[in-house]
Amino acid sequence: MARDILVAVKGKQVNRKDPEDTNTSEVVTQGKFHSKDDNYFISYNTIEEDKSVTNNLIKVTGNKIEVVKKGSLNSNMVFEVGKKNVTKYTTMYGTLELGVITKNININESTEHVTLDLDYVLEFAENYAYDSKINIKIKFL
C-alpha cells in the first residue's frame, strides 16, 4: 500500500582541493512511499530551473540505494558501500559520465519516519570532483 509522505532531500558537495568550491541543495516536497519484501520505494517530483518536471525514484534494497531521475535530468545512481558505480547523467546541456564511490550508508527507520544518509565521492570522467553527502528524510503523513 502506498503511503503519503513529506520528502526532504539535502545535498552538499565539497571539493577537497578547493574547500570554497561547495555546492548545497535542498528540496522539500510530497511524495509516495511503498514497501515490498523489506524493500522501500520513495517517489516524488521536482521542478527544475527550466520549469520542467523530473520524476525521482529512490529504491532501498538492504544496504543498496538507487536514485533514478527521469525528465530533463536523467540518471541512475547506485550507492553500495565500498563500491564504485558508474552512470550517465544527462542534462539539457549534455551527458556526463559520473563515478559514485560510496563511503557510508546509514538507514534509520521508525513508525513515523525513515532517514537515509549517504556519504560518497563523486567523479566526473574518472577524475575526482567532490566529497558528497545526501540526507533524505521521509516523514509519513
Q: What pLDDT score does 124 carry?
A: 87
Q: What pLDDT score does 82 carry?
A: 95
Q: What pLDDT score does 83 carry?
A: 96
Domains and CATH numbers, the chain: 3-140 (2.40.128.20)
Alpha carbon distances (Å) from 92 to 24, 36, 72, 74, 124 = 21, 34, 6, 10, 17
Helix (H, G, I), strand (E, B) or coil at 127: strand
* Greatest C-alpha distance within the chain: 46
Alpha carbon distances (Å) from 112 to 6, 35, 138 = 11, 14, 9
Q: What pLDDT score does 112 carry?
A: 95
- The CA radius of gyration of the chain, in Å to the nearest whole number, is 15
**Each residue's pLDDT tens digit, 27-53:** 999 999 999 998 999 999 999 888 889
Its sign, for the CA torsion 90, 95, 96, 100, is positive
Are 60 and 116 spatial neighbours (Cβ–Cβ below 8 Å)? yes
Sequence-distant (6+) residues with CB within 8 A of 20 are none
Residue 130 pLDDT > 90 = yes
**Each residue's pLDDT tens digit, 78-125:** 999 999 999 998 888 899 899 999 999 999 999 999 999 999 999 988
- Structure-derived torsion over alpha carbons of residues 65, 100, 16, 92, reported in degrees to the nearest 10: -100
